[in-house]
Amino acid sequence: MRTATIRNLTRKFGNTVAIDNLSLYIEKGRITGLIGADGAGKTTLLRTIIGLLLPDEGEINVLGFNPEKQKDELNRHIGYMPQKFGLYEDLTVIENLKLYADLKGVDISTSSIAGNESVLTRMLEFTALAQFQDRLAGALSGGMKQKLGLACALLGDPEFLILDEPSVGVDPISRRELMKMVREMINPETTVLWSTAYLDEAHSFDTAVVMDRGRIIFNGCPQDLASTPQEFEDKVIELMGGYSKGKSQIAENYDYSATDIEFTVEADNLEKRYGKFYAVKNNTFKIRKGEIFGLLGPNGAGKSTSFKMMCGLARPTGGTARIMGIDIKRNPEKARANLGYMAQKFSLYGSLTVKENLDFFALAYNIDIAGKDKKIKDIIDVFGLNEYANTKAEELPLGLKQRLSMAAALIHNPPVLFLDEPTSGVDVLTRRDFWNHITSLSKKGVTIMVTTHFMDEAEYCDRISLFYKGETIAIGTPAELKQKAGAKDMETAFINLIRESGK
């Protein structure tokens, strides 16, 4: 039985061919993973399947409907989580859930999963949002929002669940729960189409579809391609054209001015309190010049709040931070001039093109006019943004937005870089590239504070502070943390240390 049949689908945007004569059958009752390079056409495909975009050519049949003509009928059978899920930021967590339940016609008083608990209780438990159910959705951390979005998409027992990168920004513990949750929630008849940049996830699905430039380059059982998740990642990279680590052109061209300051970044009893709730409490650490310092922790731990306070975007309720010895509270502008910050949430100008955004940042940071155009050209080249140089930032696929944000953070050659989840939503090859730049910059002397939910990336950090419920629960090199947790890999160390913290 098939849930969806797609024949010779083509979809263009201007001169760009997003989907190129693609044919695909999606089997009923199976989980199909959709993977591929940034801009490969995954989101366009998902949106076309549910009728949000119309095909230029080709035929689509989904659950017996033609999405082009019967979008509304079809959507009653579908649970869709777009990349940017439309939560109502000025409604609370529980109000969002109730609203979506209402929209899907779910009777929250009687309907149940696995027979007993109410749907909402189960959703709150799964998302670990029960204690925050009265918090406004707009005040949730990035990962908490992602989990709430998924919970909303799961309501109403859809026949066909379409998830566009649901695990972006979700911490390792919640990611396991998310997978379990979807598996438990669906019945053997439910079809799932799940796009993801996590290859371990894709490896565990029934089918994996790998896309490249609008075409399918692999479609089959992931276990047939490789037996372990690690081998699967290697195979997918091979399919995508292979990765060879070269010199980081960013680091080569970086105009780094040496400093004799030993500790370039310091957090000094940093605290952020909202009412009685401490998002960050008593946080103190020092980062050495040229160090890669990982700030890791589960969703809502207080990582982004720390980043924002440390670059002067949020005012601490206690303590302070120093960048290159300059107090961020007393001298915010001077401290910030030494800093490049890549926010978790895309924060560039959506209506400006890639090139205009970079131009803007170059001017804002007084990059010398003579060198500016070359600098921008180089950075566009290195981040593979050439074919998007005149595309509006808001129209970029997620992975390319991330590349642009990273480029903008680096353009003025700051001695200190703050990167809040730089690789979330980025494809597997680009992730390696990003880390090549990060490690090469650190060798040059640039200090980097970074966070990630990819535990393989945590291994690249010189030191890690593991953050949980606003406080540091462990600090040390990756080897020290693994030893402390009695674990062989960082993912297990992360999970063990969080559990053992007793918080």
Ligand X SMILES: Nc1ncnc2c1ncn2[C@@H]1O[C@H](COP(=O)(O)OP(=O)(O)OP(=O)(O)O)[C@@H](O)[C@H]1O
Q: Please pick, from the candidates 344, 436, 452, 472, the single residue that binds Mg ion as defined by CB under 5 A.
A: 344
Q: Please pick, from the candidates 123, 192, 301, 404, the single residue that binds ligand X as defined by CB under 6 A.
A: 301
User: Which residues share a beta bridge with 27?
Assistant: 2
Sheet containing 263-274: give its strands across.
277-288, 263-274, 318-323, 326-327
Shortest spacing between CB 494 and ligand X, in angstroms: 12
List Cα–Cα distances, 336 to 65, 311, 421, in angstroms. 54, 6, 19
User: Which residues share a beta bridge with 19?
Assistant: 11
Q: How many residues bind Mg ion (CB under 5 A)?
A: 5
Compute the half-sphere exposure of residue 189: CA atoms within 13 Å on the CB side of its CA: 5
CB count within 10 Å of CB 192 equals 22
**Span between the terminal Cα atoms of the chain, in Å:** 48
Site mask for ligand X (CB under 6 A), range 117-146, x = bound: ------------------x---xxxxxx--
Give dist(CA 207, CA 302) in Å, integer.
36
Shortest spacing between CB 108 and ligand X, in angstroms: 24
Q: Which two tokens stand for residue 294?
A: 């990982």
Site mask for Mg ion (CB under 5 A), range 280-309, x = bound: -----------------------xx-----
Q: Does 452 bind Mg ion (CB under 5 A)?
A: no
List Cα–Cα distances, 451 to 207, 244, 419, in angstroms. 31, 24, 7
CB-based contact 53:80 (threshold 8 Å): no
Shortest spacing between CB 309 and ligand X, in angstroms: 9
Contacts (Cβ under 8 Å, ≥6 apart) of 272: 278, 279, 280, 302, 305, 306, 309, 314, 316, 317, 470
CB-based contact 448:289 (threshold 8 Å): no
Q: Does 142 bind Mg ion (CB under 5 A)?
A: yes
Q: Please pick, from the candidates 43, 305, 447, 472, the single residue that binds ligand X as defined by CB under 6 A.
A: 305
Nearer to ligand X, 48 or 451 (CB): 451
Give dist(CA 20, CA 193) in Å, integer.
19
Nearer to ligand X, 275 or 502 (CB): 275
Q: Does 344 bind ligand X (CB under 6 A)?
A: yes
Site mask for ligand X (CB under 6 A), range 276-295, x = bound: -x-x----------------
Nearer to ligand X, 25 or 274 (CB): 274
Candidate segments 9-17, 229-237, 339-347, 467-475, binder of Mg ion by CB under 5 A? 339-347
Tokens 């799932």 -> residue: 192
Q: Please pick, from the candidates 302, 316, 340, 415, the single residue that binds ligand X as defined by CB under 6 A.
A: 302
Shortest spacing between CB 130 and ligand X, in angstroms: 13
Q: Does 465 bind ligand X (CB under 6 A)?
A: no
| Nearest one of 105, 127, 228, 223 to 182, comparing CA atoms | 127
Supply the DSSP symbol for 424: T
Candidate segments 116-124, 135-143, 366-374, 386-394, binder of Mg ion by CB under 5 A? 135-143
Q: Please pick, from the candidates 47, 122, 303, 482, the single residue that binds ligand X as defined by CB under 6 A.
A: 303
Site mask for ligand X (CB under 6 A), range 232-271, x = bound: ----------------------------------------
Q: Does 316 bind ligand X (CB under 6 A)?
A: no
Q: Which residue is nearest to ligand X (CB)?
A: 143
Which residues, 160 to 199, sit near ligand X by CB under 6 A?
Answer: 169, 171
Shortest spacing between CB 136 and ligand X, in angstroms: 7
Q: Does 472 bind ligand X (CB under 6 A)?
A: no
Q: How many residues bind ligand X (CB under 6 A)?
A: 21
Shortest spacing between CB 128 and ligand X, in angstroms: 10
Nearer to ligand X, 141 or 353 (CB): 141
| Nearest one of 392, 396, 404 to 18, comparing CA atoms | 396
Nearer to ligand X, 212 or 421 (CB): 421
Tokens 């008083």 -> residue: 109
Nearer to Mg ion, 218 or 341 (CB): 341
Shortest spacing between CB 347 and Mg ion, in angstroms: 13
| Nearest one of 480, 445, 482, 439 to 457, comparing CA atoms | 439
List Cα–Cα distances, 229 to 190, 365, 493, in angstroms. 25, 43, 19
| Nearest one of 239, 235, 211, 215 to 224, comparing CA atoms | 235
Nearer to ligand X, 308 or 482 (CB): 308
Shortest spacing between CB 274 and ligand X, in angstroms: 4
Shortest spacing between CB 171 and ligand X, in angstroms: 6
Using the CB atoms, write b or e for 67-90: b if 16+ within 10 Å.
beeebeebbebbbbbbbebebeee
Q: Which residues bind Mg ion (CB under 5 A)?
A: 141-142, 303-304, 344
Q: Which residues bind ligand X (CB under 6 A)?
A: 135, 139-144, 169, 171, 274, 277, 279, 297, 299-305, 344
